[in-house]
Amino acid sequence: MRPSTLLAASASFALLIPGAVYAHPDPAQFAQTAFTQDPAIVECALEDGTQAECYEFTVAYKPDGLETGPFCPSNLAEIGGIWDWDGEEAGLYRLDRALFEMLAAQGYQFYDDNGDIAISDPGAGGRPDADHACLEASEDDTVVITMRLPVDPVMAETPTDLGTVASVGVALDGVPIFADAPSVLDTGHLPALDVCGGHIDPGGWYHWHGTSTDIETALEAEGVSADCALTQDASAQFGYAFDGFPMFGSMEADGKGPEGLDACGGHIGPTVLGETYHYHASESFPNLPACLVGVMAEDNFATTADGGIGAERANGGPQGGQLPPGFDEAAASLGVTAEALMQAIDDAGGREADLAEVAETLGVDDAALRDALPTPPNQ
């Protein structure tokens, strides 16, 4: 979102605050199978520096019984998941012959002369063998995810923009929610989504990139034929954002379209939780908030995975066991693992690394690498 839009949005949010009542996140609303242990209330720090209490949720790599896929088709004769293409002829597409042939005409060749699709596992480390690969990570059923949401949501002075792979919140089934997946235009590779709008992180755990319980509203609006097996309800609550405010589908409880939405896709109004600020899904994909109006908790997302977003590090790694802040998100936006990104930088000279060399090693665009890095290692 452009800064001017954020400023305009923040002005409208300020008008909403007087007299507002904000609903608390309620663990009882989540699926009984969502958590690996009972939610707890812990002391936490919010991103504005204030001390608060947070709900701490612990979930598995994916919920029991959740059917995922399809993701990447193995060849042009098959049909895979979906993808939100942002280049020429932008739109939401099925991963099928028509899409891959359109991408090939634009210079992105994902298949060989036999029509076989190049598929790569981003959790395996290193760069894909092909210049353009469909990315499909493998599950790791040992991964545990910890998330924190403020018990008492607080409006921020200005909204937080949600860039590529930014953390958005948690669905009522316990699945984490993230913003846009990395663009093919930036990385050359396509991290396939299934027909419900989710996929597996390089760390081995599943997450949403869309409001899965209202995904068919977006599919219909985009003219895409696909059938998400999850129960669809455009007026139901989908989950909670990481600022603690609830997220609903594209309709109000009475079946009418929401009115007076701010730039983030939210407003104050009646819900099953009472009169509160809440977000609504849009009718087009990605059908998630464009920004968050509230203050999030620091360190609100962590996993036990060896790599990927939120991965915990063993002692002895970079910076005393921790990758530099933002490296997980940067790596995810580039379609590589954080370890592969760090290794490529180390091999190219560490802080004095030639980023063009790093980009070539990883098989990513030089400009995309420079934009993704939170702090260039040579500064």
Each residue's pLDDT expressed in tens, for the chain with a length of 379 residues: 233 333 334 434 434 444 455 778 999 999 989 999 999 999 999 999 999 999 999 999 999 999 999 999 999 999 999 999 999 999 999 999 999 999 999 999 999 999 999 999 999 877 788 999 999 999 999 999 999 999 999 999 999 988 888 899 999 999 999 998 989 998 899 999 999 999 999 999 999 999 999 999 999 999 999 999 999 999 999 999 999 999 999 999 999 999 999 999 999 999 999 999 999 999 999 999 999 999 999 999 999 998 888 886 433 333 333 455 567 778 888 877 776 787 677 667 665 678 888 888 888 888 888 888 864 333 3
Name the 3-class secondary structure at 9. Answer: helix
- In the block, residue with structure tokens 């409880």: 253
- In the block, residue with structure tokens 């490529």: 344
Name the pTM for this structure: 0.83
Q: Where are the beta strands (DSSP E) in the chain?
A: 40-45, 51-60, 82-85, 91-94, 119-120, 134-135, 144-150, 155-161, 167-171, 176-178, 190-191, 198-200, 206-208, 237-241, 246-248, 266-271, 274-280, 291-294, 301-303
Q: Where are the beta strands (DSSP E) in 10-162?
A: 40-45, 51-60, 82-85, 91-94, 119-120, 134-135, 144-150, 155-161
In the chain, domain spans:
3-66+140-301, 318-372
